[in-house]
Amino acid sequence: MLFRVDLSSPVPLGDQIAACVRGALADGSVRPGERLPSARELATSLGVNMHTVLRGYQRLREEGLLELRRGRGAVVTGGPTAGRARLTIGARRLVAEARALGLSDEEVLGLVRTALSAT
């Protein structure tokens, strides 16, 4: 799996790392049961702090996409499907675009509710 981060991006590095894993799940290049690089190993290869990697991994754990085991590393779980990973990516893009347009959380939720009622 290929991890890439953009040091000049306004998106926090931990979020970029989590997005790499979500993207790999969405396109099928990473499957449940696969082990990800250790936080130390990935931090070294990306030139970032180990705690930055751990923040990204922790976010994925909270989403049910990773299981973290001390001494055994990060393992992709059989949790949410690749489809759900794609939806998460889309939702994050929606929120980022809404923020860039200056929309409030309530306005974004209103747009989603409107879209839901239209289907």
Predicted pLDDT of residue 73: 82
Handedness of CA 51, 53, 59, 62 (dihedral sign): negative
Q: Report the sign of the C-alpha dihedral through residues 14, 19, 22, 27, in that order.
A: negative
Percent helix, strand and coil across the chain, each to the nearest 5: 55, 10, 35
Question: Which CATH entry fits the domain spanning 13-117: 1.20.210.10, 3.30.930.10, 3.30.70.2340, 1.10.10.10?
Answer: 1.10.10.10
Q: What is the pLDDT of residues 43-99, one digit of tens each?
A: 999 999 999 999 999 999 988 889 988 777 899 986 656 677 678 778 888 999 999
Domain ranges of the chain: 13-117
Q: What is the pTM of this model?
A: 0.68
**Which pLDDT score is estimated for 118?**
87
pLDDT digits 0-9 by tens, 16-57? 999 999 888 888 888 888 999 999 999 999 999 999 999 999
